[in-house]
Amino acid sequence: MPRKIVLQDFEAPSHDHNTCVSDAIHRAEKLCVERGEKFTPLRRTILELLWSSHQPVKAYDLLAQLALTHDRPAPTTVYRTLEFLEDVGVVHKLESMNSYIGCAAPERSHQGQFLICDQCGVVAELDDDVVSTRIETNAKRIGFKVKIETIEISGTCRACQLQ
């Protein structure tokens, strides 16, 4: 199996966040179409809100932001939309923060490892095949069936270390 590593470095000088957002929206739209699903305005809006920064967003903050729009959706609709986006693979849920974040590499299914800065809250996704394969292999050895294997790593991002 070829080794695949996705590592976001959004603190690099070359980082252009507008490109992050437009890329993410474009990929999500494509994945929805491939599944025969519609990329509805609400799906797009929620994903755009999640991509407004590299910080994860709590569902109630999303609801608060959506409430500012004229066609405010019901909370259940928002939760269902988040579940849908998770299912498509364009959104990850971070359990430790009870928040959601957009995925930068949604084309193949993965659960990802997340580097979470405990000072400013930014999250970088590190998606390393070897880590996931190891977990699955070792779990299988003791007969454990893995369901969720998202890994959340806390620490300090580069920008915060420089402060």
Contact predicate 116/126, CB 8 Å: no
Among the listed residues 136, 94, 142, 139, the one whose alpha carbon sits nearest the alpha carbon of residue 118: 94
Number of residues that bind Zn ion (CB under 5 A): 10
- Out of 117, 123, 124, 132, the residue judged to bind Zn ion by CB under 5 A: 117
Paired strand residues for 45: none
- Out of 22, 77, 98, 119, the residue judged to bind Zn ion by CB under 5 A: 119
Contact predicate 115/150, CB 8 Å: no
Beta carbon of residue 161, minimum distance to Zn ion (angstroms, whole number): 8
- Confirm or reject binding of residue 116 to Zn ion (CB under 5 A): no
Structural tokens at position 159: 């920008």
Residues 79-108 that bind Zn ion (CB under 5 A): 103
Stretch that binds Zn ion, among 27-35, 56-64, 144-152, 154-162 (CB under 5 A): 154-162
- Out of 4, 9, 17, 38, the residue judged to bind Zn ion by CB under 5 A: 17
- Exposed, middle or buried: residue 123 (CB in 10 Å: 0-12, 13-18, 19+)? buried
CB atoms within 10 A of CB 63: 15
CB nearer Zn ion, residue 73 or residue 102? 102
Torsion of CA 17, 27, 43, 10, to 10 degrees: -20
Beta carbon of residue 122, minimum distance to Zn ion (angstroms, whole number): 5
Stretch that binds Zn ion, among 13-21, 33-41, 134-142, 147-155 (CB under 5 A): 13-21
- Confirm or reject binding of residue 157 to Zn ion (CB under 5 A): yes
- Confirm or reject binding of residue 161 to Zn ion (CB under 5 A): no
Q: Which parts of this chain interact with Zn ion (CB under 5 A)?
A: 10, 17, 20, 103, 112, 117, 119-120, 157, 160
